[in-house]
Amino acid sequence: MTDMHLSDAIRYVGTDDTDIDLFESQYPVPNGVSYNSYVILDEKVAVMDTVDRRRTGEWLEKLEAVLAGRKPDYLVIQHLEPDHAGSIGALAERYPDMELVASAKAVQMLPKFYPACPNPTRAVKEGDTLALGRHSLTFVMAPMVHWPEVMVSYESAEKVLFSADGFGTFGAIAKDRLWIEEAGRYYFNIVGKYGAQVQALLKKAAGLDIAAIAPLHGPVLREDLGFYLGKYDQWSRYEPEEKDAVLVAHASIHGNTARAAAMLAEILESRGAKVKTADLCRCDQAEAVADAFRCGKAVFLSSTYDGGLFPPMEHFLLHLRDKTWRSRTVALVENGSWAPAAACRMRTILEGMRDIALFDEVHTIQGAVKEADRAALEKLADELLAK
Ligand code: FEO
């Protein structure tokens, strides 16, 4: 299993959560998630973030074992979202003299979650340092990665970047999965909206000598850091991982639109294209969102429903819009037995996104898929692959 301890002085006290049903009440996490927290033991003791209240008891036990009777001087709060800040109250109650160190925005927001917290607070700004002894933390503001109060912390003695949500991933530590397996689904759905802010943070990180990245979810990253930094650079610039790959995503009521999607995927693959497919009525839409970011091209096929767009497709496209999906080539296929209307609504949503090259021509299926539809889908595939 991944060793999460950075050293004898920087200890991991985070917890796994493998029985949560949905992260943020929306994302399936079949392999769980970890809430990472660390302790720096030096002349002064700093606790780096807390954990979700779902794991407060377990976290406090691990923390007390590492503290071995010492009291924390500081709790560094990098991010106030409850999956990390949910146990601040429990720790503050146990150590009322412990100073809470956070960005000015976090200090301002803290009473919204803990209106009666008695502990002293210290608001830090860009470049401020906190000397612990041999170890020293320098604070780097990272607003909107992924809330406005976020900061990251650089520990200079061991060259550790505590990166808050950045470089996090789904998956419990005990599941021992590779970072890349769920890092994309995590990034695009949690942080994907904030590409410009991630770029700003990457520029600051480029000036640091980093030996390890310690995020708030998932494994500590120690080797081949260029790979992880490169992924974040590519993702936050909204560049597809594969510009010629095609996402074929469909929402089908009775299976006819699904048959058209399968036919289109087969045609594309027969022409050598790499294709990812998504049945938006049944799949994990968070994975489909990630695939939409990974692919340079997409075809959306949807049934008409109640004179508009079938809700699973509407939900998906609105999610893409909210995550600022952009700079892709898109074609549309609709199905409508008497008054097809799905493409019109899909077009309206897509036209609200930035830099989407949307095919003017829409193919309309009326009920079952027929031979004439195959010819139209072949033409669509050829035109899409020629882009
Ligand atoms: Fe893992 Fe934005 O919280």
Instruction: Please state, in angstroms and rounded to a whole number, the distance separating the CA atoms of residues 316 and 313.
Output: 5
pLDDT at 232: 97
Residue 116 scores a pLDDT above 90: no
Give the pair of three-digit tokens for residue 29: 């996490």
Cα of 119 from ligand 1 centre, angstroms: 23
Instruction: Tell me the per-residue pLDDT of 73-92, one tens digit each, with 9 for 90 and over.
Output: 999 999 999 999 999 999 99
Instruction: Please state, in angstroms and rounded to a whole number, the distance separating the CA atoms of residues 355 and 308.
Output: 24
Q: How many CB atoms lie within 10 A of CB 206?
A: 10
Average pLDDT on 346-355 reads 97
Q: Whose CA is nearest to atom 3 of ligand 1?
A: 81
Which is the closest atom of ligand 1 to the Cα of 164?
1
Instruction: Tell me the per-residue pLDDT of 193-245, one tens digit each, with 9 for 90 and over.
Output: 999 999 999 999 999 999 999 999 999 999 999 999 999 999 999 999 999 99
For 301-366, give the secondary structure using H, E and C: EEEEECCEECHHHHHHHHHHHHCCCCCCEEEEEEECCCCCCHHHHHHHHHHCCCCCEECCCCEEEC
Please give all residues whose beta carbon lies within 6 A of any atom in ligand 1, as ranges: 79, 81, 83-84, 146-147, 165, 216-217
Average pLDDT, the chain: 97
Burial code (b: 16+ CB inside 10 Å, e: under 16) for 169-178 equals: bbbbbebebe
Cα of 69 from ligand 1 centre, angstroms: 30
Average pLDDT on 330-341 reads 97
326: pLDDT confidence band, cut at 50, 70 and 90? very high
Cα of 35 from ligand 1 centre, angstroms: 9
Average pLDDT on 60-68 reads 98
Which is the closest atom of ligand 1 to the Cα of 146?
2
- pTM, rounded to two decimals: 0.94
pLDDT at 146: 87
Cα of 68 from ligand 1 centre, angstroms: 29
Instruction: Tell me the per-residue pLDDT of 150-204, one tens digit each, with 9 for 90 and over.
Output: 999 999 999 999 999 999 999 999 999 999 999 999 999 999 999 999 999 999 9
Average pLDDT on 95-118 reads 96
pLDDT at 44: 98
pLDDT at 354: 96
211 by Cβ neighbours in 10 Å (0-12 / 13-18 / 19+) ranks as middle
Instruction: Tell me the per-residue pLDDT of 278-300, one tens digit each, with 9 for 90 and over.
Output: 999 999 999 999 999 999 999 99
Cα of 122 from ligand 1 centre, angstroms: 22
Which is the closest atom of ligand 1 to the Cα of 217?
1
Q: Whose CA is nearest to atom 1 of ligand 1?
A: 165
